[in-house]
Amino acid sequence: MTIEEITARICAFRDARDWMQFHNPKELAVAITAEAGELLQHFVWQQPGQIEKRVKEKMPELKDEMADVGILLFELAHNLGVDLGQAMLDKIERNETRYPVAKAKGSNAKYNEL
Amino acid sequence: MTIEEITARICAFRDARDWMQFHNPKELAVAITAEAGELLQHFVWQQPGQIEKRVKEKMPELKDEMADVGILLFELAHNLGVDLGQAMLDKIERNETRYPVAKAKGSNAKYNEL
Amino acid sequence: MTIEEITARICAFRDARDWMQFHNPKELAVAITAEAGELLQHFVWQQPGQIEKRVKEKMPELKDEMADVGILLFELAHNLGVDLGQAMLDKIERNETRYPVAKAKGSNAKYNEL
Amino acid sequence: MTIEEITARICAFRDARDWMQFHNPKELAVAITAEAGELLQHFVWQQPGQIEKRVKEKMPELKDEMADVGILLFELAHNLGVDLGQAMLDKIERNETRYPVAKAKGSNAKYNEL
């Protein structure tokens, strides 16, 4: 499925409800952060050995929170005139330089701490 | 661009660095929330009339933060075996019922407060 | 009420349940962010003119979320050996320099943009 | 140090700069979440065995982020007319009922999953 197809569906939903008036970039960033917080909420206090079980129990909720973050993110990129897919590929390319395989393999250090 | 193509690129980048060991679902949810927080940071204290100017000044940073959220979200969905595009369409469909046009048009009330 | 008194109460609650094992600084930071997200959730999509009414309707929930953030923050500071009250006063003092009244009065610009 | 003393200091700082106009409860909730995100940022990808070292290296930054969350939280409570210390004690008392020692000792389950 393409990002563009889904984005078109998101915008049609929004415009049918005349919601663009509420969706300035700040409000979308607020909503993305709040939904990311809901996603995170499912993992609070969970220890490494509990994650797999947690994920199985909470799959419908996790799917829902991921969808919410995605919907808001696709709309924000669209409203800002950003090609999100291209921005992601550009970022990965930049990360190729920041995290060269020879230095970054098996390490979780940040690029400025490698 | 399809979600699947970008996801394949993300996983290739990750696997070349042997990073799957760090990317359990909780860690990805933590990283998504932290990146969403960076996106939000650009708008803190900004008033409605300042948003447009802010967005123009901070476009490279905003593009970058959106890409980060997207990259982590696509990987999380993939790792959980979730078809993110389908999950988003399913959520929009559910929202069609929760927010019928007749009731929701022009309103920013939550579905349980409509 | 002093921060120290409340912190003692928080630690007694935690230790009676043998929860220190779950409360490393990362987990506390995760929990603080998730609770901050719940606080924020109450304001998503709300426009400036709606905030006052919102606050009145949601006061018990807001009080609850603020308490949660505070409880986790006090414990985190305590666990790290940080005197939170002093750290706050130190930060305000630093902000006095970053945001001199003559330049910052009536402005919402960040210190590096003043 | 009392919450009230520090809060008085926070409000004096704010009022000298005429910033109350920017500090409605939503904006404060946005700022709290963004600062919590900065706190979390220091722990992204860090594994349990790395936390202690991380905390030592990042102590000044962590102190700073905790102070920021605290300053904003104390102001929000004050602006809403909430006695934050009392709200925290009330919440701990409620948690005593939700998490009875006999059931909650050594468990990280949520109260509705105990």
Q: Is C23 helix (H, G, I), strand (E, B) or coil?
A: coil
Mean of pLDDT over chain A: 97
Q: Is D114's pLDDT higher than 90?
A: no
User: Is the CB of residue B107 less than 8 Å away from at least one CB of chain D?
Assistant: no
Same domain assignment for residues B39 and B53: yes
Distance of alpha carbon B72 from the chain centroid: 9
D19 touches chain C (CB under 8 A): yes
Question: Which of B29, B55, B71 lies closest to A88 in CB terms?
Answer: B71
**pLDDT range class, residue B89, cuts 50, 70, 90:** very high
Interface test with A, best of D43, D57, D108 (most A CBs within 10 A): D108
Tell me what the mean pLDDT of segment D3-28 comes to: 98
What is the model's pLDDT at position C113?
A: 87
- Provide mean pLDDT across the span B68-90: 98
Nearest CA in chain A to B11: A92
Question: Based on the domain organization, do B37 and B17 belong to the same domain?
Answer: yes
Residue B113 is predicted with a pLDDT of 86
**Considering only CB atoms, which chain A residues are within 8 Å of C40?**
30, 33-34, 37
Residue B11: band (very low, low, confident or very high) from pLDDT cuts 50, 70, 90: very high
B to D CB pairs, distance under 8 Å: 41
- The answer on pLDDT for C37 being more than 90 is yes
- pLDDT at site B38: 98
Q: What is the pLDDT of residue A71?
A: 98
d(CA C77, CA C2) in angstroms, rounded, equals 14
More confident residue, C114 or C38: C38
D112 in A contact zone (CB under 8 Å): no
Are D35 and D59 part of one and the same domain?
yes
Among the partner-chain residues C22, C30, C45, the one whose CB lies closest to the CB of A27 is C45
Is D93 found in the same domain as D48? no
pLDDT, tens digit (0-9, with 9 covering 90-100), for D66-79: 999 999 999 999 99
Answer yes or no: do B18 and B66 share one domain. Answer: yes
Confidence band (pLDDT; 50, 70, 90) for C3?
very high
Contact B30 D44 (CB under 8 A): yes
Q: Which long-range contacts (CB under 8 A, 24 or more apart) does C15-23 make?
A: C16/D101, C16/D105, C17/D99, C17/D101, C17/D104, C17/D105, C17/D106, C17/D107, C18/D105, C18/D106, C19/D104, C19/D108, C21/D106, C22/A45, C22/A47, C22/D108, C23/C75, C23/C79
Chain D nearest C-alpha distance from A45 (Å) = 6
Distance from CA of C98 to the nearest CA of D (A): 12
pTM of the model: 0.97
Interface membership of D108 toward A (CB under 8 Å): yes
B29 touches chain D (CB under 8 A): no
How far is C55 from chain A, CA to nearest CA, in Å? 17
Judge if B70 and B88 occupy the same domain. Answer: no
Domain co-membership, B64 together with B26: yes
B22 close contact with A: CB closer than 8 A: yes
Alpha-carbon distance values, A50 to A67, B76, D44 (Å): 23, 17, 19
Q: Looking at the structure, do residues D76 and D89 belong to the same domain, yes or no?
A: no
Q: Are residues B73 and B24 in the same domain?
A: yes
The rounded percent of chain B whose pLDDT value lies above 70 is 100
Q: Can you give the pLDDT at residue A25?
A: 98
pLDDT average, residue stretch B89-108: 96
Q: Is B114 on the interface with D (CB under 8 A)?
A: no
* Residue A7 · residue A75 · CB < 8 Å: yes
CA distance C91 to chain B (A): 18
What gap in Å lies between CA C5 and CA B101, rounded to an integer?
52
- Touching subunits of A (3+ CB pairs, under 8 Å) are B, C, D
Cα distances (Å, whole numbers) of residue A84 to A4, B2, B33, B65, C108: 9, 11, 18, 11, 30
Where residue A89 falls among pLDDT bands split at 50, 70, 90? very high
Q: Which residues of C48-73 are buried (b: 16+ CB within 10 A; e: fewer)?
A: eeebeebbeebeeebbbbbbbbbbbb
Q: Would you state the pLDDT for residue A113?
A: 87
In chain A, which residues have their Cβ closer than 8 Å to the Cβ of D25? Answer: none
Provide the sign of the torsion angle of the four alpha carbons D101, D103, D109, D111, taken in this order.
negative
Over residues C28-48, the mean pLDDT reads 97
How many interchain CB pairs under 8 A, C with D? 198
Same domain, A29 and A76: yes
Residues 6+ apart with CB under 8 A from C66: C39, D73, D76, D77, D80, D82, D84, D87
Interchain CB distance below 8 Å, D34 and B47 = no
Q: Do D108 and A46 touch (CB under 8 A)?
A: yes
Distance from CA of A112 to the nearest CA of B (A): 16
The whole-number average pLDDT for the span A10-21 is 98
Check residue C77 and give its pLDDT. Answer: 98
- Chain centre to alpha carbon of residue D33: 10
Average pLDDT over residues A1-7: 96
CATH number for the domain spanning A63: value is 1.10.287.1080
Q: What is the pLDDT of residue D113?
A: 87
Instruction: Determine, for residues B40 and A30 on separate chains, whether the beta-carbon distance falls below 8 Å.
Output: yes
A-contacting residues of B 60-99, CB under 8 Å?
62-64, 66-71, 73-74, 76-77, 80, 82-92, 95-96, 99
Mean pLDDT of chain B: 97
Whether residues C78 and C88 share a domain: the answer is no
Q: What residue numbers bound the domain in which A29 lies?
A: 3-82
Q: What is the pLDDT of residue A97?
A: 96
Is any Cβ of chain B less than 8 angstroms from the Cβ of D34?
A: yes
% of chain D residues with pLDDT over 90: 96
Mean pLDDT along residues A55-78: 98
Mean pLDDT, residues A37-54 taken together: 97
Q: Which residues of B touch C46 (CB under 8 A)?
A: 108
Mark whether D95 and D76 lie in a shared domain: no
Count of structural domains, chain A: 2
- pLDDT, tens only, B52-76: 999 999 999 999 999 999 999 999 9
A98/chain C closest Cα distance in angstroms: 25
D33 and B30 within 8 Å at the Cβ level: the answer is: no
